[in-house]
Amino acid sequence: MGRRIFVVLLSFGCTFALSKVLLFLYTGSGAKTKEYLPTLHVEKVGTPLIGGVAFILGSSVATLFEAHLGAATILYPLLGLLAFGGLGLLDDWSKAHKRSGDGFTSLQKLALQLLLSALFVAVMPLKTSLDVKTFHLELGWAYYPLATLFIASFVNAVNITDGLDSLASLAAIPPLLLLLLSSQFVSGALLGGLIAFVWFNFPPAKTFMGDSGSHGLGGYLAITALLVNQEVLITFASLLFFLEMASSLLQIISIRGFGRKLFEIAPLHHAFEAAGFSEGRIVRFFVSLSWVFGLASFLIWG
């Protein structure tokens, strides 16, 4: 327990210091306006996209001090954090290069996410079953494509949720805590890094996590859940992310299939904004909902 607390505090300190340094050195153009947000978030244009880089690097440094660094449940999530964070960083760079709010196309991003997910599934030591208390379902080879989709879906869900100050980071804390409770061989480094990031991302945000942060965070959650065989628990605890992703998918299906919108703007947090709710009120409600899902998961399956 003492080592875990040390790693969390070290990660917080490293991320905090890195955030300060990167903000001081930052010379980029910052966040751009999304085409589907013509009037919302105009005041956030130019906010540095270095928060994700800071907490990924800070968490990675702290993880090196884990007593069981060689354990699969610590090593592979660390590699996933770096790999998916790197993919997101490429997307952030592409946005800056194009000087627009969009980097890779949706298909390009999905293809890269699936490829990276498949690589991790191919090399990780995974059980091919779903186990929830006394329930056991052996999936055999079918488990591997499902696990690939699981990782890619998680990455997209967190990425889509990252649209309001502190929303994605605070909503990720309940599933992260559940992962820490599920195994003694899960690192607490990312938790410390996220708490430090919130310090700089709390409204008015001094930095955003960018796609680097949201991709890294989503990949870390999914990979750890697979390795500790807690896919059902972590999926339910992360339902807020999947509700956000579902709202975007349903919006696309409705527009392309029926020529009409389900929401004025998707995903769900932007729909609430368009309805007149303040950003702070939406974040408080959504994060509270995430904690409800996390507590319910712990009581039912924990």
Beta strands in 29-177 (DSSP E): 129-132, 135-138
- pLDDT surpassing 60 at residue 36: no
- Residues with Cβ < 8 Å from 164, sequence gap 6 or more? 269, 273, 279, 282, 283
- For the chain, give every domain's residue range: 2-231
**5 band by pLDDT with thresholds 50, 70 and 90:** very high
244-267 in b/e form (b: 16+ CB < 10 A) is: bbbbbebbeeeeeeeeeeebebbb
pLDDT of residue 60: 98
d(CA 18, CA 26): 12
Q: Which of 52-56, 132-136, 168-172, 269-273 has the lowest mean pLDDT?
A: 132-136
pLDDT of residue 33: 60
Q: What is the pLDDT of residues 178-235, one digit of tens each?
A: 999 999 899 999 999 999 999 999 888 999 999 999 999 999 999 999 999 999 999 9
Highest mean predicted confidence (pLDDT) among 129-133, 263-267, 284-288: 284-288
Q: What is the mean pLDDT of the chain?
A: 92
Across the strands, what pairs with 135?
Answer: 132
Average pLDDT in the 109-133 region? Answer: 95
DSSP state of 205: P
Across the strands, what pairs with 136?
Answer: 131
Q: What is the pLDDT of residues 50-99, one digit of tens each?
A: 999 999 999 999 999 999 999 999 999 999 999 999 999 999 988 777 65
Find the helix or strand (DSSP H, E) in which 91 lies. Answer: helix 72-98
